Structure 1
Amino acid sequence: MSEIHNITPVYNQDSRILILGSFPSVKSRQAQFFYHHPQNRFWRVLENLYQVERLETIEDKKAFLLEHHIALWDVIESCEIKGSSDSSIKDVKINDIQKLINESHIHKIYTNGQKAHQLYQKYCLEITQLEDICLPSTSPANATYSLEKLLLSWQIVLQS
C-alpha cells in the first residue's frame, strides 16, 4: 500500500536554500512535521550551526526556517515503504519541487542523505537544472556520523 506525504513544505518567497529529505519517517508522518523522530539529529544540527536555543515546537521550527531563508521538504510525494526504511522505498511519485523553486528565491539545494540525493538526481535534476549538494544523513540509522562530524559536513549550509 502506498504511503502519502502529509507534510506541507516550509518555505516562502524569501527562501534561498532548500533542504530535501527522501520521505518522512513514521514518527514525522504521525506528527505531520519534518524530522520528528527524537533520535534524528536534523534539528540539533541546525540549532548548533545557527547557534540558537533549542527549537521545541513545530511553530518554533517553522519560524526558524523562514527567518533563516531555509525551505524544507522531501523529494517523494508518495511511495511504498516499510516503516521508515529508505532502502525499502519503491513506486515513487515525486513532489513538485520546481513549483516551490518558482515561488521562492532558491538557488542552492541540499539533500539530507544518499537516498534523497539519488532520488533528486534521478527524478528532479533534469527538471530543476539545479545541482544538489549531498550532505550526510541526520537519521539515527547513520550511526557512523557523530553530531560533531555532522556539524563539520553541514557547515556548508551557512555559506549559502
Structure 2
Amino acid sequence: MDRVYHEIEPVYDHSSKILILGSFPSVKSRENHFYYGHPQNRFWKVLEKLYDIHFTDIESKKQFLHKNHIALWDVIESCEIEGSSDASIRNIKLNDIKKIIDESAIEKIYVNGKKAQEYYNKYVLDKTKISCIPLPSTSPANAAYSLDKLIEKWKQIKE
C-alpha cells in the first residue's frame, strides 16, 4: 500500500462554531479536491435537506459552510489506504485539529462515521479536550441508513 496524503485545505474561519470531521477523503474527494466528492456520498444531500439549499459547485458549498459557521476537515493527514476503504487505513499521521479550535469559536465537534470517531477519541481528544458527537456515516457504504434516517440523526448540527 502506498502512503496517501490529504491535500484538501480545511474549511473554517474565526467564526466557525461547529466542526465536522471525517476520517480521510475518498478517492473521488481527492480527485475533486473537496470533501465528500463521491456522487453517492450523502453528506451534501443531507445538508441540502436540512438547510433547504441547493449546492451548484464547490464554491457554493464553501460559502454555505462559512455562512453557517461550520468548519470541515478530516482527522487524518496521511495514511496507507486501499482505495477509499476506512477499514484498510494503516500507519496514520494526524491533522492538527487543535489549530482550528485555537483559530475559531468551535463549541461542538461532530464526527462523520465510526472510524472518524475512533481516531478522534484515540488520538485527538486529549489535545482538544472537547468530546466529539458521533453521527452516522454519510458514505454509500453505510447502507443501514436511508437518506431520511441520516437527515433525522444529522439535524442536531442545527441546534
Instruction: State the TM-score, normalizing by the size of structure 2.
Output: 0.98
Find the aligned partners of 2:73 and 2:29 in 1 and give their Cα distance. Answer: 12
Find the aligned partners of 1:117 and 1:45 in 2 and give their Cα distance. Answer: 19
Q: Deviations over 1:64-83 (max 9, x none)?
A: 00000000000000000000
2:153 paired residue number: 153
Gaps spanning 5+ residues in structure 1: where? none
SS of 1:124 mapped into structure 2: helix
SS of 2:117 mapped into structure 1: helix
Q: Deviations over 1:113-140 (max 9, x none)?
A: 0000000001100000000000000000
Q: In the alignment, residue 6 of structure 2 is paired with which amino acid? A: H
2:42 paired residue number: 41
SS of 2:29 mapped into structure 1: helix
SS of 2:82 mapped into structure 1: coil
Find the aligned partners of 1:51 and 1:60 in 2 and give their Cα distance. Answer: 14
Q: How does 1:110-121 map to 2 (within 5 A)?
A: 110-121=110-121
Q: Which stretches of structure 1, 4 residues or longer, exceed 2 Å deviation after superposition?
A: none
Matched, 1:103 2:103: yes
SS of 2:134 mapped into structure 1: strand
Q: How does 1:67-106 map to 2 (within 5 A)?
A: 67-106=67-106
Query: Percent identity between the aligned chains?
Result: 60
Find the aligned partners of 1:74 and 1:47 in 2 and give their Cα distance. Answer: 21
Find the aligned partners of 1:154 and 1:80 in 2 and give their Cα distance. Answer: 29
Find the aligned partners of 2:136 and 2:56 in 1 and give their Cα distance. Answer: 24
Q: How does 1:9-48 map to 2 (within 5 A)?
A: 9-48=10-49
1:4 paired residue number: 5
The count of residues paired between Structure 1 and Structure 2 equals 158
Shift of 1:56: 1.6
SS of 1:65 mapped into structure 2: helix
Q: Deviations over 1:83-118 (max 9, x none)?
A: 000000010000000011100000100000000000
Q: In the alignment, residue 93 of structure 1 is paired with which amino acid? A: K
1:65 paired residue number: 65
1:131 paired residue number: 131
Instruction: Give the root-mean-square deviation of aligned CA atoms.
Output: 0.5
SS of 2:150 mapped into structure 1: helix
Find the aligned partners of 1:14 and 1:104 in 2 and give their Cα distance. Answer: 6
Instruction: State the TM-score, normalizing by the size of structure 1.
Output: 0.98
Find the aligned partners of 2:94 and 2:107 in 1 and give their Cα distance. Answer: 20
